[in-house]
Amino acid sequence: MSEEANKKMYSADSIQALEGMEHVRMRPSMYIGDVGVRGLHHLVYEVVDNSIDEAMGGYCDSIQVIINEDNSITTKDNGRGIPVDLHKKEGVSALEVVMTKIGAGGKFDKDSYKVSGGLHGVGVSCVNALSSHLKATVYRDGKIWEQEYERGKTLYPVKSVGESKETGTVVTFMPDDTIFTQTIEYSYETLANRMRELSFLNKGVTITLTDKRHKDDKGEFISETFHSDEGLKEFIRFLDGTREPLIQSVISMEGEKNGIPVEVAMVYNTGYTENLHSYVNNINTHEGGTHLSGFRRGLTTTLKKYADNSGMLDKVKFEISGDDFREGLTAIVSVKVAEPQFEGQTKTKLGNREVTSAVSQAVSEMLTDYLEEHPDDAKQIVEKVKLAAQARHAAAKAREMVQRKNPMSVGGLPGKLSDCSEQDPTKCEVFLVEGDSAGGTAKQGRDRNFQAILPLRGKILNVEKAMQHKVFENEEIKNIYTALGVTIGTEEDSKALNLDKLRYHKVVIMCDADVDGSHIETLILTFFFRYMRELIEGGHVYIATPPLYLLKKGSKKRYAWNDKERDAIMKEMNGGASIQRYKGLGEMNAEQLWDTTMNPEFRTLRQVSIDNATESDRIFSMLMGDEVPPRREFIEKNAVYANIDV
């Protein structure tokens, strides 16, 4: 096309394209979920998803992601490159269509597994619409092509800027700070976690993440390369690495069932928790769905059949349920579905019916073979299932105790709870406070209208290392259940948490700002993560932040939450102030605690959220599990980052 004709076509078409792009800018949350930290990172995932698509098609094996100094992002891949030829229907370069047309998706062929619901798969055009500036460079057909955009608007028609034998796509974008008003600062860790996950889910692809904002001690940019030859098999070892294995090998399969690509990997450990992770088209399906049901069904029927045939269950008097087969199980299920239907609260539950039997069959075949070939492992697994069933019966009894009214308490509430007078749960808060003495101060300092106090005795049980019935028998934990008004079992799901009668919409963990305090905080969070995940997901869990210092000069009093603040206040007061370092909540009087930590007008509460359930799972098992070395490594690694952040 001549330069002239190109320009003409371009202007005529741009009118229609802009409508969709404007809509993205007006309602960004509809496309990327939110305009906070999550949405900001989704922009990167969106572009990388396209590169991964190329990789899944066998056209690309290398992807680079760079966080530039100004927080703009550059992604490079060695795929086919976005097509640049004339798009017949639109009358402009295909590159421009891909970049400026919402819903064009980009792919003109049907055989790629593009995601139609969920948060990904909205197309690079969305990223373009939400960027103050974007530049696309395409290596294709022996040439280098380029086009730039501002807030989704094309700055000039696609042009050739050079020659090259390579193929691939380079995209550099700057998130629009008038859209992402909260922050446009990228988190290296968040991106690294996702790139690692993608490399496990798409074996063979090499993904490099580089942070040009920071250098290491050798003067080189922080950078990591993720590559997995074994895929899910390696992912499982990474996830379960800090748990003690029950069997040595990872059981895995990869194949296609009824036209649906299915990948499964699983391993048993000696622990008591069930860790199932599922993915559809590389997206973590937190709420599970038909693929996970298929996995459970395949696992239960196959193991049951094997156990029955082996005669190992002959003398077992109690009944064995599906749950018993999954104690100490860590598994990942990954499927690719052409037109996925996403359901559920967060649209992360797969609805496609046909997937259940595909996964179930795949798991049955995989497990049947494995059990036949590894009779010793099979025996270990069946023994564990028997123990699990036994423990479950004990747990059921203990759980009943949690629900039954405690005769020692008033109105069914724990005696240690100092309740508030307000009856509307949406207005109520409960503070879980470390120790009786701090509990006493909090009780005096609170606003009893809407704030309740539940003191916890010292270190609460480490649920990561305890069997379920021990958890439900634990006094402090029983108190938490009854105080919160939370029970187990809904009409739909006997194991789900029932939040209908939740008595406080804010549950605030308040611990000392020291090492012990943060350990207790982690113990409580571990309990919430394993046993009350829905409470976190509902946005009900918060962490209080007591100050570290009190500065006094004459009658003037100021609080500081970190060293930087302390120094700044010291300067403001022209020096000469006395500094008191709070070692614990107990050193504050009731008034100080109210002023700094409990009064909604001045306090800072940190809301707890689960950004990446798979990674959280690994971190909790590492922090609270048996093995010390990985824990030390984690703490040291994060200490390094903490330094860089300053």
What residues line the site for ligand 0RA (CB under 6 A)? Answer: 47, 50-51, 54, 77, 79-80, 82-83, 98, 106-108, 124, 169, 171
Nearest one of 543, 549, 548 to 521, comparing CA atoms: 543
Tell me the three state secondary structure of residue 561: coil
We find the least distance from the C-beta atom of residue 186 to ligand 0RA, in angstroms, to be: 18
Nearer to ligand 0RA among residue 25 and residue 107 (C-beta): 107
Nearest one of 463, 466, 470 to 523, comparing CA atoms: 463
Residue with CB nearest ligand 0RA? 50
Whether 434 sits among the annotated catalytic residues: the reply is yes
Nearer to ligand 0RA among residue 53 and residue 537 (C-beta): 53
We find the least distance from the C-beta atom of residue 91 to ligand 0RA, in angstroms, to be: 17
Nearer to ligand 0RA among residue 108 and residue 318 (C-beta): 108
We find the least distance from the C-beta atom of residue 50 to ligand 0RA, in angstroms, to be: 3
Give the integer Cα–Cα distance in Å for 474 and 482. Answer: 12
- Out of 49, 211, 419, 434, pick the active-site residue: 434
Nearer to ligand 0RA among residue 95 and residue 413 (C-beta): 95
Q: What is the DSSP string of 173-200?
A: EEE-TTTS-S--PPPHHHHHHHHHHHHH
We find the least distance from the C-beta atom of residue 13 to ligand 0RA, in angstroms, to be: 17
Q: Give all strands (DSSP E) within 50-112, no chain letters.
A: 62-67, 73-77, 86-87, 92-93
* Cα separations in angstroms, 354 against 299, 337, 426: 18, 10, 41
Question: Percentages helix, strand, coil for the chain, rounded to the nearest 5?
Answer: 40, 25, 35
We find the least distance from the C-beta atom of residue 57 to ligand 0RA, in angstroms, to be: 8
* Cα separations in angstroms, 621 against 244, 269, 405, 418, 576: 11, 12, 33, 33, 47
We find the least distance from the C-beta atom of residue 167 to ligand 0RA, in angstroms, to be: 9
- Out of 516, 534, 565, 611, pick the active-site residue: 516
The dihedral of CA 373, 376, 379, 383: what is its sign? negative
Tell me the three state secondary structure of residue 39: helix
Structure tokens at 600: 């909604």
- Out of 96, 324, 429, 512, pick the active-site residue: 512
Cα maximum dimension of the chain: 88
We find the least distance from the C-beta atom of residue 574 to ligand 0RA, in angstroms, to be: 57
Nearer to ligand 0RA among residue 127 and residue 366 (C-beta): 127
We find the least distance from the C-beta atom of residue 332 to ligand 0RA, in angstroms, to be: 26
Q: Are strands 131-140 and 92-93 parallel, antiparallel or unpaired?
A: unpaired
Nearer to ligand 0RA among residue 60 and residue 548 (C-beta): 60
Whether 516 sits among the annotated catalytic residues: the reply is yes
Nearer to ligand 0RA among residue 312 and residue 338 (C-beta): 338
Q: Under 8 Å CB-to-CB from 88, ≥6 apart: which residues?
A: none
We find the least distance from the C-beta atom of residue 202 to ligand 0RA, in angstroms, to be: 14
Nearer to ligand 0RA among residue 79 and residue 625 (C-beta): 79
- Out of 369, 514, 591, 626, pick the active-site residue: 514
Give the integer Cα–Cα distance in Å for 557 and 551. Answer: 6
We find the least distance from the C-beta atom of residue 183 to ligand 0RA, in angstroms, to be: 25
Nearer to ligand 0RA among residue 80 and residue 305 (C-beta): 80
* Cα separations in angstroms, 435 against 13, 274, 440, 442, 508: 68, 31, 9, 11, 15
Helix axes 613-624, 232-240, angle to 10 degrees: 40
Give the integer Cα–Cα distance in Å for 96 and 147. Answer: 8
Structure tokens at 227: 């590559």
Nearer to ligand 0RA among residue 77 and residue 263 (C-beta): 77
Nearer to ligand 0RA among residue 50 and residue 242 (C-beta): 50
Per residue, what are the HEC states of 278-345? EEECCEECCCCEHHHHHHHHHHHHHHHHHHHHHCCCCCCCCCCCHHHHHCCEEEEEEECCCCCCEECC
Kindly calculate the radius of gyration of the chain based on its CA atoms and give it in whole angstroms.
28
* Cα separations in angstroms, 268 against 216, 247, 322, 330, 364: 38, 6, 15, 6, 17
Q: Are strands 62-67 and 73-77 parallel, antiparallel or unpaired?
A: antiparallel
We find the least distance from the C-beta atom of residue 98 to ligand 0RA, in angstroms, to be: 5
- For the sheet containing 578-581, what is the strand order? 556-560, 549-553, 578-581
Active site residues: 434, 512, 514, 516
